Amino acid sequence: MKILVINCGSSSLKYQLIDMTKEEVLAKGLAERIGIDGSRVEHKPSGKEEVVIEKPMKDHKVALEIVINALVNPEHGVVESMEEINAVGHRVVHGGEKFAESVIIDDEVMKAIEECADLAPLHNPPNMMGIQACKELMPNVPMVAVFDTAFHQTMPKSSYIYALPYELYEKYGIRKYGFHGTSHKYVSNRAAEILGKNIEDLNIITCHLGNGASLAAVKGGKSVDTSMGFTPLEGLAMGTRSGDIDPAIVPFLMEKEDMTLDEVNNLLNKKSGVLGISGVSSDFRDIEGAAENGNERAQLALDKFASRVKKYIGAYAALMGRVDAIVFTAGLGENSAEMREKICEGLEFMGIELNKDKNKVRGKEAIVNTESSKVKILVVPTNEELMIARDTKELVVK
Ligand code: ADP
């Protein structure tokens, strides 16, 4: 069975074609600058040379057509015809309270995804464009939607309700939803497998630390709390997002700096986080480099980032009553030994002991705690595409 995994942004379309018999990636790639000048597809077939296709793409449908042509091309293709693609799995950012798991896409589901667009105006509409394009180009191929929010739908109400007038939750659905769910689910399950334990018996804290970053408290395989909220802005300090701040800062800024709502929104989402503190970059590699060269604000940004992660680890340990494992994933979590060390430093009293030698690992699965550490510490590269393909297969084969 071959599954095409699609992840659409407003001007991009990421894809992977996965052969599910061996869970092997046959090809992957990215169409970018859709709808603007300079559209291109970077197509990477496994075992063959990478190609770049530069062609105007007015919308996601044209982009998908080019992707499908690349997949079946005699030279750089990986399948003989489109008929070999048995199903398509779509990443959908927001499933609101409607979707606690992945679903086969039908008209009703499409309508529900559209209804969730209010909650994720930047993400759900492009996700829908990908779904529409597939529906038009491959009308007989079953499609599945895998939601970023679904894994967190198991949170108890005490975790997801905000201390706001309750009617706002009822009227607008203002509550914590959480994101990166596919990643938190994948790495927590993978950690249990690596440890040879049943996930039902484990309390795990998963740390997805990339440009966007979030933690989840995963008790017995179920998310019971997560750091992102109503939107991805809550929680950790991120590449450019502020994460938790005193909400009173918003009206203060609007008054003192004469800012509009849009401007404040932009400041909190695009100009804050480690970029805002350091003034150097949103990329942790640049910030780590600057800090090594003595840049104090870069160092402060790293200190702030680590301290926020540490605080969430403490909070989630308290919430779950016990921690069996901490898992690091995503760009920074998988690759930065320095950041993992900084986060774990001083947590020995909680039974969290990092083995500095083992922690030198980058981008590979590894157990990096000491022999005596009560809490296991793991590095697990995330694989959201595989998780989407697995869910798709399960639903389509049923
Ligand atoms: P996203 O998918 O949210 O864009 P990623 O998971 O790809 O994010 O993570 C990107 C971040 O990971 C970058 O900001 C980069 O700073 C960080 N990163 C990647 N490799 C390294 C590394 N070797 N050392 C430190 N940070 C790294």
Pairing outcome for strands 366-367 and 376-379: antiparallel
154 within domain boundaries: no
pLDDT, tens digit (0-9, with 9 covering 90-100), for 298-333: 999 999 999 999 999 999 999 999 999 999 999 999
CB 148 within 8 A of CB 190: no
Per-residue tokens: 192: 């249990």
Domain interval for residue 242: 198-379
SS3 157: helix
Q: Specify whether 229 is located in the same domain as 132.
A: no
CATH assignment of the domain containing 286: 3.30.420.40
Q: Specify whether 363 is located in the same domain as 253.
A: yes
The pLDDT of residue 245 = 98
394 within domain boundaries: no
Count of domains forming the chain: 2
pLDDT tier at 259, thresholds 50, 70, 90: very high
pLDDT tier at 162, thresholds 50, 70, 90: very high
Q: Specify whether 141 is located in the same domain as 202.
A: no
Which ligand 1 atom lies nearest to the CA of residue 288? 25
Q: Specify whether 120 is located in the same domain as 249.
A: no
Cα distance between residue 254 and residue 256, in whole Å: 6
Q: Specify whether 220 is located in the same domain as 367.
A: yes
What single DSSP character describes residue 258? -
Q: Specify whether 252 is located in the same domain as 140.
A: no
Q: Taking residues 173-187, report their average pLDDT.
A: 97
162 within domain boundaries: no
Asked if residue 121 has pLDDT above 90, the reply is no
Which segments within the chain are labelled E, that is strand? 2-8, 13-19, 24-32, 40-45, 51-54, 85-92, 103-104, 143-147, 203-209, 213-219, 222-226, 325-329, 366-367, 376-379
| Alpha carbon nearest to ligand 1 atom 19, residue | 331
Q: Taking residues 182-201, report their average pLDDT.
A: 98
The pLDDT of residue 96 = 95
| Alpha carbon nearest to ligand 1 atom 16, residue | 284
pLDDT tier at 144, thresholds 50, 70, 90: very high
pLDDT tier at 105, thresholds 50, 70, 90: very high
Q: Specify whether 232 is located in the same domain as 134.
A: no
pLDDT tier at 194, thresholds 50, 70, 90: very high
The pLDDT of residue 332 = 97
pLDDT tier at 122, thresholds 50, 70, 90: confident
The pLDDT of residue 36 = 92
CB-ligand 1 contact for 381 (6 Å cutoff): no
pLDDT, tens digit (0-9, with 9 covering 90-100), for 6-28: 999 989 999 999 999 999 999 99
Q: Specify whether 138 is located in the same domain as 232.
A: no
188 within domain boundaries: no
313 within domain boundaries: yes
Asked if residue 398 has pLDDT above 80, the reply is no
Binding residues for ATP: 14, 208-212, 283-285, 331-335
- The residues annotated with a catalytic role in the active site are 148
The pLDDT of residue 351 = 98
The pLDDT of residue 22 = 95
CB-ligand 1 contact for 360 (6 Å cutoff): no
SS3 81: coil
8 forms beta bridges with 13
Q: Specify whether 135 is located in the same domain as 277.
A: no
31 within domain boundaries: yes
Q: Taking residues 171-175, report their average pLDDT.
A: 96
- Looking at every residue in the chain, the average pLDDT score rounds to 96
Q: Taking residues 363-383, report their average pLDDT.
A: 98
Asked if residue 88 has pLDDT above 80, the reply is yes
CB-ligand 1 contact for 99 (6 Å cutoff): no
SS3 182: helix
The pLDDT of residue 118 = 86
Q: Specify whether 32 is located in the same domain as 130.
A: yes
Q: Specify whether 109 is located in the same domain as 236.
A: no
CA 382 to chain centre: 9
CB-ligand 1 contact for 283 (6 Å cutoff): yes
CB-ligand 1 contact for 45 (6 Å cutoff): no
Q: Specify whether 129 is located in the same domain as 208.
A: no
pLDDT, tens digit (0-9, with 9 covering 90-100), for 332-349: 999 999 999 999 999 999
Identify the domain boundary among 147, 182, 211. Answer: 147
pLDDT, tens digit (0-9, with 9 covering 90-100), for 24-80: 999 999 999 999 999 999 999 999 999 999 999 999 999 999 999 999 999 999 999
Q: Taking residues 220-227, report their average pLDDT.
A: 98
130 within domain boundaries: yes
pLDDT tier at 240, thresholds 50, 70, 90: very high
Residue to probe by mutation, ligand 1, list 209, 284, 334, most atoms within 8 Å of CB? 284
169 within domain boundaries: no
